Structure 1
Amino acid sequence: MKFKGFSLHINHPEETLSFYQDIIGFRLVEQYQVENHTIFCLESKARGYDLELIYNQESENINYAHEMQDNYWKYSLFVDDIKRVYHRLNQIKHATGEAYQFGDIGYLMHTADTESHKIEFIQKTFEQHSRQTVSNDLFFLKEQPVLGLLTIRTKDLVKMLRFFESILGLKLFVRMYVEKGEGFTLYFLGDRELVPPNPDIDAIENREWMYQQNHLFIEIQYYWGSEYKEGFDLCRNKRGLKSINFVGNLETVKEKLLLYEVQFVERETSIIFNTLDAHEIIVTQAI
Protein backbone atom coordinates (compact mmCIF):
# COMPACT_ATOMS: atom_id res chain seq x y z
CA MET A 1 0.00 0.00 0.00
CA LYS A 2 1.27 3.48 -0.87
CA PHE A 3 -0.13 6.91 -0.08
CA LYS A 4 -0.41 8.48 -3.53
CA GLY A 5 -1.85 11.99 -2.95
CA PHE A 6 -5.16 13.79 -2.66
CA SER A 7 -7.80 15.56 -4.75
CA LEU A 8 -9.30 19.05 -4.38
CA HIS A 9 -12.36 20.57 -6.00
CA ILE A 10 -11.81 23.65 -8.16
CA ASN A 11 -14.06 26.12 -10.00
CA HIS A 12 -11.63 28.05 -12.21
CA PRO A 13 -9.20 25.64 -13.90
CA GLU A 14 -7.34 28.13 -16.09
CA GLU A 15 -6.53 30.55 -13.25
CA THR A 16 -5.81 27.77 -10.74
CA LEU A 17 -3.51 25.79 -13.06
CA SER A 18 -1.59 28.98 -13.80
CA PHE A 19 -1.07 29.53 -10.06
CA TYR A 20 0.20 26.02 -9.44
CA GLN A 21 2.42 25.82 -12.50
CA ASP A 22 3.70 29.39 -12.89
CA ILE A 23 3.90 30.41 -9.21
CA ILE A 24 4.23 27.29 -7.07
CA GLY A 25 6.28 25.34 -9.61
CA PHE A 26 4.23 22.15 -9.90
CA ARG A 27 4.27 20.18 -13.13
CA LEU A 28 1.10 19.07 -14.94
CA VAL A 29 1.74 15.38 -15.60
CA GLU A 30 -1.70 14.27 -16.78
CA GLN A 31 -5.12 15.63 -17.73
CA TYR A 32 -8.13 13.44 -18.44
CA GLN A 33 -11.91 13.41 -18.54
CA VAL A 34 -14.29 11.25 -16.45
CA GLU A 35 -17.87 11.93 -17.48
CA ASN A 36 -18.44 15.64 -16.71
CA HIS A 37 -15.24 15.99 -14.63
CA THR A 38 -11.86 17.18 -15.84
CA ILE A 39 -8.99 15.96 -13.66
CA PHE A 40 -5.60 17.67 -13.60
CA CYS A 41 -2.73 15.73 -11.99
CA LEU A 42 0.09 17.91 -10.64
CA GLU A 43 3.45 16.77 -9.33
CA SER A 44 5.87 18.57 -7.00
CA LYS A 45 9.51 17.91 -6.23
CA ALA A 46 8.38 14.83 -4.26
CA ARG A 47 8.11 12.54 -7.27
CA GLY A 48 5.34 9.97 -7.19
CA TYR A 49 2.91 12.06 -5.12
CA ASP A 50 0.09 13.88 -6.88
CA LEU A 51 -2.17 16.81 -6.16
CA GLU A 52 -5.29 16.28 -8.26
CA LEU A 53 -7.51 19.23 -9.13
CA ILE A 54 -11.04 18.21 -10.11
CA TYR A 55 -13.26 20.49 -12.14
CA ASN A 56 -16.95 19.67 -12.59
CA GLN A 57 -18.36 21.60 -15.54
CA GLU A 58 -21.92 21.15 -14.24
CA SER A 59 -21.42 22.18 -10.61
CA GLU A 60 -22.53 25.51 -9.20
CA ASN A 61 -19.77 28.11 -9.17
CA ILE A 62 -19.68 28.53 -5.38
CA ASN A 63 -16.37 29.46 -3.78
CA TYR A 64 -14.79 27.21 -1.16
CA ALA A 65 -14.68 28.57 2.39
CA HIS A 66 -12.95 26.67 5.20
CA GLU A 67 -14.78 26.10 8.49
CA MET A 68 -13.29 24.98 11.83
CA GLN A 69 -15.56 21.92 11.86
CA ASP A 70 -14.47 20.76 8.39
CA ASN A 71 -12.81 17.35 8.45
CA TYR A 72 -10.08 18.82 6.18
CA TRP A 73 -7.85 21.75 7.12
CA LYS A 74 -4.90 22.40 4.77
CA TYR A 75 -1.92 21.00 2.98
CA SER A 76 1.73 21.96 3.45
CA LEU A 77 4.69 22.61 1.18
CA PHE A 78 8.27 22.07 2.40
CA VAL A 79 10.76 24.73 1.27
CA ASP A 80 14.46 25.49 1.78
CA ASP A 81 14.14 29.24 2.40
CA ILE A 82 10.78 30.49 3.67
CA LYS A 83 11.83 34.16 3.69
CA ARG A 84 12.67 33.94 0.00
CA VAL A 85 9.26 32.40 -0.72
CA TYR A 86 7.53 35.09 1.37
CA HIS A 87 9.37 37.82 -0.55
CA ARG A 88 8.49 36.36 -3.95
CA LEU A 89 4.78 36.01 -3.11
CA ASN A 90 4.68 39.57 -1.83
CA GLN A 91 6.22 40.81 -5.07
CA ILE A 92 3.08 39.72 -6.93
CA LYS A 93 0.85 40.89 -4.03
CA HIS A 94 -0.36 37.38 -3.28
CA ALA A 95 -1.81 37.58 0.24
CA THR A 96 0.25 35.64 2.77
CA GLY A 97 0.98 35.79 6.47
CA GLU A 98 4.49 36.50 7.66
CA ALA A 99 6.90 33.65 8.32
CA TYR A 100 7.40 32.86 12.00
CA GLN A 101 8.90 30.16 14.21
CA PHE A 102 5.95 28.49 15.94
CA GLY A 103 7.42 27.09 19.17
CA ASP A 104 9.22 23.83 18.47
CA ILE A 105 6.66 22.95 15.77
CA GLY A 106 8.22 24.61 12.73
CA TYR A 107 9.20 27.76 10.83
CA LEU A 108 6.08 28.42 8.77
CA MET A 109 3.68 30.81 7.09
CA HIS A 110 0.14 30.56 5.75
CA THR A 111 -1.55 31.54 2.52
CA ALA A 112 -4.15 30.10 0.13
CA ASP A 113 -4.41 29.20 -3.53
CA THR A 114 -6.72 30.99 -5.99
CA GLU A 115 -9.59 28.70 -4.88
CA SER A 116 -9.12 29.59 -1.17
CA HIS A 117 -7.68 26.17 -0.26
CA LYS A 118 -5.37 26.83 2.70
CA ILE A 119 -1.64 26.34 2.08
CA GLU A 120 1.03 26.19 4.77
CA PHE A 121 4.69 26.69 3.82
CA ILE A 122 7.12 25.00 6.22
CA GLN A 123 10.86 25.56 6.07
CA LYS A 124 12.86 22.33 6.16
CA THR A 125 14.74 23.64 9.21
CA PHE A 126 13.72 25.65 12.26
CA GLU A 127 14.42 29.39 12.08
CA GLN A 128 17.50 29.09 14.30
CA HIS A 129 18.92 26.47 11.93
CA SER A 130 18.28 28.48 8.74
CA ARG A 131 21.06 28.24 6.21
CA GLN A 132 21.87 29.93 2.93
CA THR A 133 20.52 27.91 -0.01
CA VAL A 134 21.22 28.30 -3.70
CA SER A 135 18.28 29.82 -5.56
CA ASN A 136 16.90 28.07 -8.63
CA ASP A 137 15.86 30.61 -11.25
CA LEU A 138 13.89 27.95 -13.16
CA PHE A 139 11.05 28.49 -10.65
CA PHE A 140 9.22 31.67 -9.70
CA LEU A 141 9.74 31.01 -5.98
CA LYS A 142 13.45 30.44 -6.70
CA GLU A 143 12.93 26.81 -5.65
CA GLN A 144 10.47 23.97 -6.17
CA PRO A 145 8.50 23.12 -3.01
CA VAL A 146 7.85 19.56 -1.84
CA LEU A 147 4.22 18.51 -1.41
CA GLY A 148 4.71 17.46 2.20
CA LEU A 149 1.57 17.27 4.36
CA LEU A 150 -2.16 16.71 4.01
CA THR A 151 -3.91 17.83 7.21
CA ILE A 152 -7.22 16.28 8.21
CA ARG A 153 -9.20 16.22 11.47
CA THR A 154 -10.68 13.53 13.70
CA LYS A 155 -12.91 13.25 16.77
CA ASP A 156 -11.89 9.66 17.53
CA LEU A 157 -8.12 9.57 17.55
CA VAL A 158 -7.65 5.91 18.54
CA LYS A 159 -9.88 4.59 15.75
CA MET A 160 -8.43 6.99 13.18
CA LEU A 161 -4.84 5.97 13.90
CA ARG A 162 -5.82 2.30 13.73
CA PHE A 163 -7.61 3.00 10.45
CA PHE A 164 -4.55 4.50 8.74
CA GLU A 165 -2.06 2.08 10.29
CA SER A 166 -3.94 -1.23 10.08
CA ILE A 167 -5.99 -0.76 6.90
CA LEU A 168 -3.89 1.67 4.86
CA GLY A 169 -0.47 0.57 6.07
CA LEU A 170 0.98 3.89 7.24
CA LYS A 171 3.22 4.37 10.29
CA LEU A 172 3.11 7.05 12.99
CA PHE A 173 6.41 8.99 13.10
CA VAL A 174 5.78 12.30 14.87
CA ARG A 175 3.44 13.68 17.53
CA MET A 176 3.14 17.34 18.52
CA TYR A 177 1.12 18.86 21.39
CA VAL A 178 -0.09 22.39 20.67
CA GLU A 179 -1.39 24.60 23.50
CA LYS A 180 -3.22 27.05 21.28
CA GLY A 181 -6.86 27.95 21.83
CA GLU A 182 -8.41 25.00 23.67
CA GLY A 183 -5.47 22.85 22.56
CA PHE A 184 -4.92 20.12 20.01
CA THR A 185 -2.49 17.35 19.12
CA LEU A 186 -1.01 16.63 15.70
CA TYR A 187 -0.08 13.14 14.50
CA PHE A 188 2.05 12.56 11.39
CA LEU A 189 1.99 9.28 9.45
CA GLY A 190 4.00 8.21 6.40
CA ASP A 191 5.28 5.18 4.51
CA ARG A 192 6.68 2.43 6.74
CA GLU A 193 10.08 2.26 5.03
CA LEU A 194 11.09 5.69 6.35
CA VAL A 195 13.60 5.70 9.22
CA PRO A 196 13.50 8.71 11.60
CA PRO A 197 16.55 9.72 13.64
CA ASN A 198 14.75 8.86 16.89
CA PRO A 199 12.13 6.10 17.50
CA ASP A 200 10.40 8.38 20.04
CA ILE A 201 7.44 10.03 18.26
CA ASP A 202 7.77 13.07 20.56
CA ALA A 203 11.47 13.65 19.76
CA ILE A 204 12.09 17.20 18.52
CA GLU A 205 14.71 16.10 15.96
CA ASN A 206 12.12 14.02 14.12
CA ARG A 207 10.28 17.22 13.14
CA GLU A 208 13.02 18.80 11.05
CA TRP A 209 13.82 15.33 9.70
CA MET A 210 10.22 15.03 8.47
CA TYR A 211 10.28 18.43 6.77
CA GLN A 212 13.45 17.42 4.92
CA GLN A 213 11.91 14.33 3.30
CA ASN A 214 10.79 14.29 -0.35
CA HIS A 215 7.72 12.54 0.92
CA LEU A 216 4.01 13.15 1.50
CA PHE A 217 2.69 12.60 5.05
CA ILE A 218 -0.81 12.49 6.53
CA GLU A 219 -1.23 14.95 9.42
CA ILE A 220 -4.17 14.29 11.75
CA GLN A 221 -5.40 17.10 14.01
CA TYR A 222 -7.29 16.15 17.15
CA TYR A 223 -8.98 18.91 19.21
CA TRP A 224 -8.65 18.01 22.90
CA GLY A 225 -11.95 16.70 24.25
CA SER A 226 -13.81 17.28 20.99
CA GLU A 227 -15.52 13.89 21.20
CA TYR A 228 -17.34 15.14 24.31
CA LYS A 229 -18.39 18.55 22.96
CA GLU A 230 -22.12 18.76 22.37
CA GLY A 231 -22.95 19.94 18.86
CA PHE A 232 -19.38 19.62 17.58
CA ASP A 233 -19.36 17.37 14.54
CA LEU A 234 -16.73 17.18 11.85
CA CYS A 235 -18.18 17.22 8.36
CA ARG A 236 -17.01 17.10 4.76
CA ASN A 237 -17.04 20.42 2.94
CA LYS A 238 -18.02 19.43 -0.58
CA ARG A 239 -16.09 22.38 -2.05
CA GLY A 240 -12.75 21.41 -0.49
CA LEU A 241 -11.10 18.01 -0.22
CA LYS A 242 -12.53 15.40 -2.60
CA SER A 243 -10.52 12.31 -1.70
CA ILE A 244 -7.33 10.86 -0.20
CA ASN A 245 -5.71 8.55 -2.73
CA PHE A 246 -3.75 5.32 -2.33
CA VAL A 247 -2.50 2.55 -4.60
CA GLY A 248 -2.32 -1.07 -3.51
CA ASN A 249 -3.53 -4.63 -3.90
CA LEU A 250 -7.33 -4.45 -3.96
CA GLU A 251 -7.85 -8.01 -2.70
CA THR A 252 -5.71 -7.29 0.35
CA VAL A 253 -7.59 -4.04 0.98
CA LYS A 254 -10.94 -5.82 0.73
CA GLU A 255 -9.84 -8.40 3.29
CA LYS A 256 -8.86 -5.67 5.76
CA LEU A 257 -12.07 -3.69 5.21
CA LEU A 258 -14.17 -6.80 5.81
CA LEU A 259 -12.14 -7.64 8.92
CA TYR A 260 -12.74 -4.17 10.40
CA GLU A 261 -16.34 -4.07 9.14
CA VAL A 262 -15.82 -0.96 6.98
CA GLN A 263 -18.37 -0.52 4.19
CA PHE A 264 -16.93 0.03 0.71
CA VAL A 265 -17.85 0.35 -2.94
CA GLU A 266 -15.94 -1.85 -5.37
CA ARG A 267 -15.24 -0.72 -8.91
CA GLU A 268 -13.27 -2.31 -11.74
CA THR A 269 -9.87 -0.89 -10.75
CA SER A 270 -10.54 0.80 -7.39
CA ILE A 271 -12.23 0.57 -4.00
CA ILE A 272 -13.89 3.58 -2.34
CA PHE A 273 -14.72 3.91 1.36
CA ASN A 274 -14.86 6.52 4.13
CA THR A 275 -13.06 7.07 7.41
CA LEU A 276 -15.23 7.46 10.51
CA ASP A 277 -14.87 11.26 10.06
CA ALA A 278 -16.18 11.07 6.47
CA HIS A 279 -12.90 11.46 4.54
CA GLU A 280 -13.27 9.68 1.22
CA ILE A 281 -10.50 7.15 0.54
CA ILE A 282 -9.85 5.81 -2.96
CA VAL A 283 -7.51 2.85 -3.40
CA THR A 284 -6.51 2.13 -6.99
CA GLN A 285 -5.09 -1.22 -8.07
CA ALA A 286 -1.28 -1.12 -8.18
CA ILE A 287 0.14 -1.92 -11.61
Structure 2
Amino acid sequence: MRFVRRLFLDALTMTTARRLDTLTLRVPDVASTLAFYTKIMGMLPSNSDNDGDSATIGYTDTGLKLKFVSCQSNRQTTSSDAYWKIGITVKDLDQTVAFLQKQGVPCSPPQQFMDIGYLCHLRDPANLSVELLQQRFEGRQEAVRVNQNEASSHVIGCQATLAHITIRVTDLKMAQKFWEETMGMRLMSIQPVTRYGFTLYFYTWSDENLPNPNDLKAVENREWLWARPYAMIELQHLESRDADDVPKLRITPDGEAGPVTLLCHNNGSNESTEIDCGKDLGL
Protein backbone atom coordinates (compact mmCIF):
# COMPACT_ATOMS: atom_id res chain seq x y z
CA MET A 1 0.00 0.00 0.00
CA ARG A 2 1.55 3.25 -1.12
CA PHE A 3 0.98 6.62 0.52
CA VAL A 4 2.63 9.89 -0.40
CA ARG A 5 2.94 12.64 2.23
CA ARG A 6 2.69 16.18 0.96
CA LEU A 7 2.72 19.60 2.53
CA PHE A 8 -0.62 21.34 2.22
CA LEU A 9 -0.40 25.13 2.22
CA ASP A 10 -3.61 26.09 3.98
CA ALA A 11 -4.82 24.81 7.35
CA LEU A 12 -8.62 24.96 7.12
CA THR A 13 -11.22 24.54 9.84
CA MET A 14 -14.19 22.35 8.91
CA THR A 15 -16.83 20.17 10.52
CA THR A 16 -14.62 17.13 9.92
CA ALA A 17 -11.15 16.31 11.26
CA ARG A 18 -10.09 15.24 7.77
CA ARG A 19 -11.62 15.61 4.34
CA LEU A 20 -11.52 14.24 0.83
CA ASP A 21 -9.68 16.98 -1.03
CA THR A 22 -8.86 16.15 -4.66
CA LEU A 23 -9.76 13.26 -6.96
CA THR A 24 -7.41 13.17 -9.95
CA LEU A 25 -8.97 11.75 -13.12
CA ARG A 26 -7.37 10.90 -16.43
CA VAL A 27 -9.31 12.24 -19.45
CA PRO A 28 -8.32 12.32 -23.14
CA ASP A 29 -9.33 15.96 -23.65
CA VAL A 30 -8.66 18.12 -20.60
CA ALA A 31 -10.05 21.28 -22.22
CA SER A 32 -13.44 19.83 -23.20
CA THR A 33 -13.83 18.05 -19.85
CA LEU A 34 -12.97 21.23 -17.99
CA ALA A 35 -15.50 23.16 -20.10
CA PHE A 36 -18.20 20.59 -19.31
CA TYR A 37 -17.71 20.75 -15.55
CA THR A 38 -17.41 24.54 -15.43
CA LYS A 39 -19.90 25.75 -18.04
CA ILE A 40 -22.45 22.93 -17.74
CA MET A 41 -22.04 21.63 -14.18
CA GLY A 42 -21.15 25.00 -12.64
CA MET A 43 -17.84 24.20 -10.96
CA LEU A 44 -15.19 26.88 -10.45
CA PRO A 45 -11.44 26.73 -11.18
CA SER A 46 -9.06 26.23 -8.28
CA ASN A 47 -6.12 28.55 -7.76
CA SER A 48 -3.62 25.81 -8.62
CA ASP A 49 -2.15 24.31 -11.79
CA ASN A 50 -4.80 25.14 -14.39
CA ASP A 51 -2.76 24.77 -17.56
CA GLY A 52 -2.86 22.80 -20.76
CA ASP A 53 -1.94 19.49 -19.13
CA SER A 54 -3.97 19.58 -15.91
CA ALA A 55 -6.84 21.47 -14.31
CA THR A 56 -8.40 21.49 -10.82
CA ILE A 57 -12.01 22.57 -10.21
CA GLY A 58 -14.74 22.25 -7.58
CA TYR A 59 -17.76 23.91 -5.99
CA THR A 60 -15.92 25.25 -2.93
CA ASP A 61 -12.29 25.69 -1.90
CA THR A 62 -12.76 23.46 1.14
CA GLY A 63 -14.83 20.76 -0.57
CA LEU A 64 -13.84 17.87 -2.80
CA LYS A 65 -12.25 18.98 -6.07
CA LEU A 66 -11.55 17.28 -9.38
CA LYS A 67 -8.18 17.43 -11.11
CA PHE A 68 -7.87 16.39 -14.74
CA VAL A 69 -4.73 15.06 -16.42
CA SER A 70 -4.44 13.89 -20.00
CA CYS A 71 -4.60 10.29 -21.25
CA GLN A 72 -5.11 8.46 -24.53
CA SER A 73 -8.69 7.11 -24.57
CA ASN A 74 -12.18 7.53 -23.15
CA ARG A 75 -13.59 5.37 -20.38
CA GLN A 76 -14.53 1.83 -21.42
CA THR A 77 -17.20 1.22 -18.82
CA THR A 78 -18.16 -2.21 -17.52
CA SER A 79 -20.35 -3.31 -14.61
CA SER A 80 -17.27 -4.81 -12.95
CA ASP A 81 -15.20 -1.61 -12.84
CA ALA A 82 -13.87 -0.99 -9.34
CA TYR A 83 -14.32 2.76 -9.81
CA TRP A 84 -17.92 3.62 -10.67
CA LYS A 85 -18.73 7.34 -10.44
CA ILE A 86 -18.74 10.68 -8.73
CA GLY A 87 -21.94 11.87 -7.09
CA ILE A 88 -23.21 15.45 -7.03
CA THR A 89 -26.05 16.38 -4.67
CA VAL A 90 -28.44 19.21 -5.56
CA LYS A 91 -31.40 20.91 -3.90
CA ASP A 92 -33.73 20.66 -6.93
CA LEU A 93 -33.04 17.79 -9.32
CA ASP A 94 -35.87 18.59 -11.76
CA GLN A 95 -34.54 22.13 -12.18
CA THR A 96 -31.05 20.73 -12.69
CA VAL A 97 -32.17 18.22 -15.33
CA ALA A 98 -34.23 20.87 -17.16
CA PHE A 99 -31.08 23.00 -17.42
CA LEU A 100 -29.01 20.05 -18.68
CA GLN A 101 -31.62 19.25 -21.33
CA LYS A 102 -31.49 22.85 -22.58
CA GLN A 103 -27.71 22.44 -22.90
CA GLY A 104 -28.18 19.25 -24.92
CA VAL A 105 -26.73 17.00 -22.23
CA PRO A 106 -28.44 13.57 -22.17
CA CYS A 107 -29.23 12.06 -18.77
CA SER A 108 -31.52 9.35 -17.46
CA PRO A 109 -35.02 10.37 -16.29
CA PRO A 110 -35.02 11.34 -12.59
CA GLN A 111 -36.57 8.68 -10.38
CA GLN A 112 -37.05 7.92 -6.71
CA PHE A 113 -34.81 4.87 -6.40
CA MET A 114 -36.44 2.81 -3.64
CA ASP A 115 -35.85 4.51 -0.27
CA ILE A 116 -32.34 5.62 -1.29
CA GLY A 117 -32.97 8.91 -3.08
CA TYR A 118 -34.31 10.87 -6.04
CA LEU A 119 -31.60 10.61 -8.68
CA CYS A 120 -30.45 10.32 -12.27
CA HIS A 121 -27.24 9.58 -14.18
CA LEU A 122 -25.24 11.09 -17.03
CA ARG A 123 -21.78 10.86 -18.59
CA ASP A 124 -19.11 13.49 -19.08
CA PRO A 125 -17.06 13.97 -22.30
CA ALA A 126 -14.61 11.25 -21.19
CA ASN A 127 -17.51 8.78 -20.70
CA LEU A 128 -17.06 8.91 -16.91
CA SER A 129 -20.27 8.38 -14.94
CA VAL A 130 -21.88 11.15 -12.87
CA GLU A 131 -24.80 10.69 -10.49
CA LEU A 132 -27.09 13.60 -9.61
CA LEU A 133 -28.87 13.07 -6.29
CA GLN A 134 -31.47 15.39 -4.77
CA GLN A 135 -30.75 16.24 -1.15
CA ARG A 136 -34.34 15.34 -0.28
CA PHE A 137 -36.64 12.63 -1.59
CA GLU A 138 -38.91 13.08 -4.62
CA GLY A 139 -41.37 15.94 -4.23
CA ARG A 140 -39.42 17.51 -1.37
CA GLN A 141 -37.04 19.70 -3.38
CA GLU A 142 -35.85 23.01 -1.98
CA ALA A 143 -36.46 26.25 -3.84
CA VAL A 144 -33.34 27.50 -5.60
CA ARG A 145 -32.92 31.17 -6.41
CA VAL A 146 -30.34 32.02 -9.03
CA ASN A 147 -29.01 35.55 -8.51
CA GLN A 148 -27.46 36.67 -11.78
CA ASN A 149 -25.57 39.43 -9.97
CA GLU A 150 -23.57 36.99 -7.84
CA ALA A 151 -20.50 34.97 -8.76
CA SER A 152 -22.35 31.74 -7.86
CA SER A 153 -25.15 32.46 -10.35
CA HIS A 154 -24.90 29.13 -12.18
CA VAL A 155 -28.18 27.21 -11.87
CA ILE A 156 -26.35 24.03 -10.81
CA GLY A 157 -23.27 25.54 -9.19
CA CYS A 158 -25.28 27.61 -6.72
CA GLN A 159 -26.98 24.52 -5.24
CA ALA A 160 -24.54 21.63 -5.71
CA THR A 161 -22.08 19.67 -3.58
CA LEU A 162 -19.48 17.28 -5.00
CA ALA A 163 -20.50 14.68 -2.47
CA HIS A 164 -19.62 11.08 -3.35
CA ILE A 165 -16.91 8.91 -4.84
CA THR A 166 -18.40 5.48 -5.52
CA ILE A 167 -16.23 2.36 -5.49
CA ARG A 168 -17.39 -1.21 -6.10
CA VAL A 169 -16.06 -3.90 -3.75
CA THR A 170 -16.50 -7.66 -3.46
CA ASP A 171 -14.44 -8.27 -0.31
CA LEU A 172 -16.32 -6.17 2.24
CA LYS A 173 -14.08 -7.06 5.18
CA MET A 174 -10.95 -5.97 3.34
CA ALA A 175 -12.61 -2.75 2.19
CA GLN A 176 -13.87 -1.94 5.68
CA LYS A 177 -10.44 -2.60 7.13
CA PHE A 178 -8.91 -0.13 4.68
CA TRP A 179 -11.43 2.71 5.07
CA GLU A 180 -12.08 2.28 8.80
CA GLU A 181 -8.72 1.16 10.19
CA THR A 182 -6.15 2.44 7.70
CA MET A 183 -7.94 5.67 6.77
CA GLY A 184 -9.74 6.15 10.10
CA MET A 185 -13.12 6.91 8.54
CA ARG A 186 -16.49 6.54 10.21
CA LEU A 187 -19.29 4.39 8.79
CA MET A 188 -22.30 6.72 8.54
CA SER A 189 -24.95 4.70 6.72
CA ILE A 190 -25.73 1.19 5.48
CA GLN A 191 -28.30 0.96 2.68
CA PRO A 192 -29.30 -2.55 1.52
CA VAL A 193 -30.55 -2.83 -2.08
CA THR A 194 -31.42 -6.52 -1.94
CA ARG A 195 -33.46 -6.47 -5.15
CA TYR A 196 -30.33 -5.67 -7.15
CA GLY A 197 -27.84 -7.69 -5.11
CA PHE A 198 -25.79 -4.98 -3.44
CA THR A 199 -25.50 -2.88 -0.29
CA LEU A 200 -24.21 0.69 -0.04
CA TYR A 201 -21.85 1.84 2.73
CA PHE A 202 -21.06 5.54 3.27
CA TYR A 203 -17.88 6.72 5.00
CA THR A 204 -16.56 10.10 6.12
CA TRP A 205 -14.61 11.68 9.00
CA SER A 206 -17.51 13.69 10.41
CA ASP A 207 -18.34 13.52 14.12
CA GLU A 208 -21.84 14.95 13.56
CA ASN A 209 -24.76 13.18 15.21
CA LEU A 210 -27.05 11.22 12.90
CA PRO A 211 -30.82 11.77 13.24
CA ASN A 212 -31.02 8.10 14.26
CA PRO A 213 -27.56 7.13 15.56
CA ASN A 214 -28.75 3.75 16.83
CA ASP A 215 -29.60 2.35 13.40
CA LEU A 216 -27.23 2.94 10.48
CA LYS A 217 -29.84 1.41 8.15
CA ALA A 218 -32.51 3.91 9.20
CA VAL A 219 -34.18 5.66 6.25
CA GLU A 220 -34.56 8.87 8.28
CA ASN A 221 -30.77 9.32 8.17
CA ARG A 222 -30.62 9.46 4.38
CA GLU A 223 -31.98 12.90 3.48
CA TRP A 224 -29.83 14.33 6.27
CA LEU A 225 -26.82 12.54 4.81
CA TRP A 226 -27.45 13.83 1.27
CA ALA A 227 -27.53 17.41 2.57
CA ARG A 228 -24.04 17.26 4.14
CA PRO A 229 -21.66 19.92 2.76
CA TYR A 230 -18.68 17.54 2.57
CA ALA A 231 -17.74 14.53 0.47
CA MET A 232 -17.97 10.84 1.38
CA ILE A 233 -16.73 7.51 0.12
CA GLU A 234 -19.55 5.28 -1.09
CA LEU A 235 -18.86 1.55 -1.28
CA GLN A 236 -21.14 -0.57 -3.43
CA HIS A 237 -20.68 -4.08 -2.07
CA LEU A 238 -21.58 -6.60 -4.78
CA GLU A 239 -23.12 -9.59 -3.02
CA SER A 240 -23.46 -13.18 -4.18
CA ARG A 241 -24.33 -16.45 -2.48
CA ASP A 242 -22.09 -18.30 -4.92
CA ALA A 243 -18.41 -17.39 -4.78
CA ASP A 244 -18.09 -18.31 -8.48
CA ASP A 245 -20.56 -15.55 -9.39
CA VAL A 246 -18.58 -12.76 -7.73
CA PRO A 247 -17.12 -10.60 -10.53
CA LYS A 248 -13.43 -9.85 -10.70
CA LEU A 249 -13.21 -6.09 -10.36
CA ARG A 250 -11.37 -4.20 -13.08
CA ILE A 251 -8.82 -1.54 -12.16
CA THR A 252 -8.70 1.20 -14.80
CA PRO A 253 -5.59 0.62 -16.96
CA ASP A 254 -3.07 3.38 -17.61
CA GLY A 255 -3.99 5.36 -20.70
CA GLU A 256 -7.75 5.01 -20.20
CA ALA A 257 -9.97 7.68 -18.62
CA GLY A 258 -10.48 7.01 -14.93
CA PRO A 259 -9.18 7.65 -11.41
CA VAL A 260 -5.50 8.17 -10.65
CA THR A 261 -5.15 9.40 -7.06
CA LEU A 262 -7.32 10.62 -4.20
CA LEU A 263 -5.85 13.29 -1.93
CA CYS A 264 -7.13 13.42 1.67
CA HIS A 265 -6.33 16.49 3.77
CA ASN A 266 -5.79 16.61 7.53
CA ASN A 267 -7.57 19.74 8.76
CA GLY A 268 -5.56 21.67 11.32
CA SER A 269 -2.22 20.41 10.01
CA ASN A 270 -0.06 20.78 6.93
CA GLU A 271 -0.18 17.11 5.93
CA SER A 272 -2.19 15.24 3.33
CA THR A 273 -2.41 11.57 2.39
CA GLU A 274 -2.53 10.52 -1.25
CA ILE A 275 -4.19 7.22 -2.19
CA ASP A 276 -3.10 5.46 -5.35
CA CYS A 277 -6.39 4.46 -7.03
CA GLY A 278 -4.63 1.71 -8.96
CA LYS A 279 -3.23 -0.02 -5.87
CA ASP A 280 -5.20 0.96 -2.78
CA LEU A 281 -8.95 1.66 -2.36
CA GLY A 282 -9.28 -1.40 -0.11
CA LEU A 283 -10.16 -3.77 -2.98
Task: Please indicate the TM-score interval, normalised by the length of the shorter structure.
Answer: 0.7 to 0.9
TM-score (norm. length: structure 1): 0.80
Comparing 157-166 and 236-245, the one that deviates more: 236-245
3-state DSSP class of the match of 1:121?
strand
The match for 2:185 is 170
CA positional deviation for 1:159: 1.8
- Offset at residue 41 of structure 1 (A): 1.5
Q: Answer whether contact 2:175 2:281 (CA < 8 A) is retained.
A: no
SS in 2 for 1:32: coil
Change (3 A) 1:230 1:103: closer
**Contact 2:30 2:53 survives alignment (8 Å):** no
The unaligned stretches of length 5 or more in structure 1 are 250-268, 282-287
2:235 matched to which residue of 1? 220
Partner of 1:10 in structure 2? 27
How many residues of Structure 1 are paired with residues of Structure 2 in the alignment? 254
Percent of aligned pairs with the same residue?
26
Change (3 A) 1:136 1:67: farther
What residue number does 2:172 align with? 157
- Report the equivalent of 1:229: 244
Pair 1:115–1:7, CA change in 2 (3 A) = same
Other-structure match for 1:49: 64
Distance apart, 1:248 and its partner CA = 4.2
Q: Which structure has the higher relative contact order (CA within 8 Å, separation 6+)? A: 2
8 Å Cα contact 1:242-1:280 kept in structure 2:
no
Distance in 1, Cα, partners of 2:159 & 2:23: 19
Q: Which moved more, 1:38-47 or 1:76-85?
A: 38-47
Corresponding residue for residue 12 of structure 2: none
Rate the CA distance shift 1:156–1:84 in 2: closer, same or farther, 3 A: same
| Alignment match of 1:77 (pick from 88, 94, 100) | 88
| One of 265, 277, 283 as aligned partner of 1:247 | 265
Q: 1:81-96 to 2 correspondence within 5 Å?
A: 81-96=92-107
The verdict on how the C-alpha distance between 1:97 and 1:273 changes in structure 2, with shifts beyond 3 A counting, is closer
Deviation, structure 1 residue 134: 2.4
1:27-66 equivalences under 5 Å are 27-32=44-49, 38-45=53-60, 47-55=62-70, 59=71, 61-66=72-77
Contact 1:153-1:221 at 8 Å conserved across structures: yes
Separation (CA, whole Å) in 1 of partners of 2:279 and 2:116: 27
> What corresponds to 2:223 in structure 1?
208
Measure how far apart 1:154 and its partner are: 1.1
When the two chains are superposed, the root-mean-square deviation of aligned CA atoms in Å is 2.7
What amino acid maps onto 2:170 in structure 1? K
Mapped to 1, the partners of 2:159 and 2:144 lie a distance apart of: 12
- In structure 2, relative to structure 1, the CA distance for the partners of 1:206 and 1:231 (3 Å cut) is closer
User: Any gaps of 5 or more consecutive residues in structure 2?
Assistant: 1-17
